[in-house]
Structure 1
Amino acid sequence: MKHLFLPALASAALAALSACTGEGEDAGKAACAAPAGVVNVYTSRHYDTDLALYEDFTCFSGIKVNRLEADADALIERIAAEGEYSQADLFVTVDAGRLWRAEEAGFLAPVDSKVLAERIPANLRDPQNRWFALTTRARIIIYNKAKGAPAGLVNYEDLAKPEFRGRLCMRSSSSVYNIALLASMISHDGEAKAAAWAKGVVANFQRPPQGNDMSNIESVAAGECDISLVNTYYLARFDTPEKRKVLDSIGIIFPNQATTGTHVNMSGAGLVKTAPNRENAVKFLEYLASDKAQQFLANGNNEYPAAVGVAPTSAVEKLGSFKADTLSAAEIGKNQARAALLFNAAGWN
């Protein structure tokens, strides 16, 4: 964990985002707002491009963004342990389940903001407005294109069919992305069917769970296994001249288009109850929901904007449009503990 606050400086990336107004470095600096305090962000988003976004916010608002970066679970423990003495204003993380854990730890506060209520869909924020999505990512099925689209594979539930025996490669069940997916299936299908699905998928493994989404994409492209589950932004990372061969070898399926829609997870942020700079934190949250910030957040990691009416412009746009599952992210968080138990019972290590 990084134990010191770091100023959010990213000059090179900021050039891509552009200065607030004016031409040239001096003009950009002259146009920035006068200093107006700070906001302290505890974040597990580890994308360097976010730093330029922080600096842009400082330019137009005058509020300096201080950042403490660490693993989400470590940050949750830290904020809870710091209690009323915490310097955290905002908690930022990359999974709905972790936002729910922060909510359960009792240190997030509701935010009454017309901007956030209008910009962020109800299913992508806490019912009591204690956290809000910043970006989303879809969990999709991929297959080896040379072997052809697997017949009868349309929904997540189909992955448990016996005709796919020995054809699946997956990452560990400890992955928050797999836990979130199974948590959503508990909500949609009930615990008994979700448990049966997990057992059926385990029976169809080509090999024990291993690697991550990136390595499983490479395994499917190489024909080492036929089918896997991955997040869209990992697939978009292969959209480069050097990795194009891998991407061209992959076919994709957005599951459950005729039923619940494709499962999405998110990155999000919540106001800390003891925030020493509450007003500045709310201003920063509202800024993150703006068109400009949404595009930059999403493009920085090939994700989808969470705000209403903001179209994706990163590499994920090339994957095609799809119907997303509108299940409340709060439901996903609530069911994650049960999902982990079902995975263990199914032998999905």
Structure 2
Amino acid sequence: MQKAGNAMIRFCTILIVTLFVTPISASDESLVIYGSRQQALMAPLLQAYRASRGVAVRYVQDKSDQLLQRLAEEGDASSADLLLTADIGVLEAAREMGLLQAKQSQLLSSLIPAKYRDPQGFWYGLSLRARMLLYVPGRIPRFELRDYADLSSSALKGRVCMRDLKHVYNQSLIAALVARWGEKRVRAWLSGVISNLARPPQGGDRDQVRALAKGECDVAVVNSYYFAMMLDGDNERDREVANRVSRVWPETGVHVNISGGGVTHHSPHPQLAIDFLEFLAGFDSQRLFAELNHEYPAVLGVPVSHTLMRLGAFEADFRPLALIARQREKASKVIHDLSNTD
């Protein structure tokens, strides 16, 4: 099964960045998607949709900020029907910029838990990733690391690794903590975390895991799917590194973020865009998200990958992502203030 999955990924990565799926019906309708998700993940889903609906699909891939800029510049001349991207911060930014339209779907509302979708229908979560804590057994007692709060403990002085605090993954985590604790406590907490850093924030999530194995730090903050891909990937060194560390699910509630999508404000085919989102919320599509990218399905009852099963169960933060997203400005200010302190 793994070999087949890897073969599919290798095949998909040779596709050009703009993917055309030709129709099998006489319909003149076509769907244009602006997405930041990798071709390796999206290609099998796009082809399955084409086979199911007979609709032409054009997928345009770029970085999230570039897609938002493009939508803003194109305005009502845009051909994009749908925005697919990762992180609630990006989806909320698109909503605030007026780049998405509210589009309710009874099916999506019944499948996607309320906390993972916008109450007005501007965006819907399609897959989930958890912000987890990793540590090196033998270098840190398990009881010293139970929750995000412990990252600021004096016991971890000079022992913590993180990527850039201004990265959207960390911004969203800090926004979630503002919603949970309030800005004053988060400011004190983040000051402690910065004091505990073993090195300046750098690299991506995988680099934090590698730093643990090298002995550069003892604790790191990582998204679950990056860690799972290291455990299950083709890179033998990364597999070895990932198997040398242990994970902690924060006991007061794990911050869970989404990859999701919303219908663009000037979509020529809004109903078709919603139909595609509903297709992505279907059992088979959700299973593909889980198998190809080691993300948690947004729809309850869809099995997770074997690797995610190894990581065990956790209790997710109960707060709606729409509520957490409203704390992004406060989170950004705290990060900016503390990151620029001499």
SS in 2 for 1:209: coil
Whole-Å separation in 2 of the counterparts to 1:326 and 1:124: 10
Q: How much does 1:333 deviate?
A: 2.2
Structure 1 segment 31-46 matched on structure 2, within 5 A: 34-36=25-27, 37-46=29-38
1:208 and 2:200 aligned: yes
Whole-Å separation in 2 of the counterparts to 1:136 and 1:35: 36
1:276 and 2:268 aligned: yes
Whole-Å separation in 2 of the counterparts to 1:52 and 1:312: 18
Find the counterpart in structure 2 of residue 13 from structure 1: 8
Whole-Å separation in 1 of the counterparts to 2:244 and 2:297: 27
Whole-Å separation in 1 of the counterparts to 2:78 and 2:239: 46
Once the two structures are overlaid, the 10-residue window that deviates more, 115-124 or 213-222, is 213-222
Give deviations 1:5-48, integer Å, cap 9, x for gaps: xxxxxxx739999xxxxxxxxxxxxxx96343211000011241
Relative distance call for 1:293 and 1:35 in structure 2 (3 A) is farther
The correspondence for 1:233, drawn from 225, 249, 257, is 225
Whole-Å separation in 2 of the counterparts to 1:65 and 1:314: 31
SS in 1 for 2:160: coil
Find the counterpart in structure 2 of residue 29 from structure 1: none
Whole-Å separation in 1 of the counterparts to 2:290 and 2:129: 9
Whole-Å separation in 1 of the counterparts to 2:284 and 2:11: 12
Find the counterpart in structure 1 of residue 43 from structure 2: 51
1:144 and 2:146 aligned: no
Find the counterpart in structure 2 of residue 304 from structure 1: 296
Relative distance call for 1:348 and 1:251 in structure 2 (3 A) is farther
The correspondence for 1:105, drawn from 88, 93, 97, is 97
SS in 2 for 1:57: helix
Structure 1 segment 60-99 matched on structure 2, within 5 A: 60-99=52-91
Q: How much does 1:337 deviate?
A: 2.3
Check whether the contact 2:140–2:218 (CA below 8 A) recurs between aligned residues.
no
SS in 2 for 1:182: helix
Whole-Å separation in 1 of the counterparts to 2:300 and 2:140: 36
Relative distance call for 1:72 and 1:304 in structure 2 (3 A) is same
SS in 2 for 1:163: helix
SS in 2 for 1:65: strand
Whole-Å separation in 1 of the counterparts to 2:112 and 2:73: 30
The correspondence for 2:338, drawn from 327, 337, 346, is 346
Q: How much does 1:309 deviate?
A: 2.1
Q: How much does 1:315 deviate?
A: 2.2
Structure 1 segment 329-340 matched on structure 2, within 5 A: 329-340=321-332
Check whether the contact 2:144–2:155 (CA below 8 A) recurs between aligned residues.
no
- Percent identity between matched residues is 35
Whole-Å separation in 2 of the counterparts to 1:332 and 1:348: 24
Find the counterpart in structure 1 of residue 180 from structure 2: 188
Whole-Å separation in 1 of the counterparts to 2:9 and 2:106: 29
1:252 and 2:244 aligned: no
Give the total of aligned pairs.
321
Check whether the contact 1:98–1:333 (CA below 8 A) recurs between aligned residues.
no
SS in 1 for 2:318: coil
Whole-Å separation in 1 of the counterparts to 2:45 and 2:340: 39
Whole-Å separation in 2 of the counterparts to 1:290 and 1:46: 20
Q: TM-score, normalised by structure 2?
A: 0.89
Relative distance call for 1:166 and 1:279 in structure 2 (3 A) is same
| RMSD after superposition | 2.1
Once the two structures are overlaid, the 10-residue window that deviates more, 206-215 or 324-333, is 324-333
Check whether the contact 2:115–2:319 (CA below 8 A) recurs between aligned residues.
yes
Q: TM-score, normalised by structure 1?
A: 0.87
Find the counterpart in structure 2 of residue 26 from structure 1: none
Find the counterpart in structure 1 of residue 4 from structure 2: none
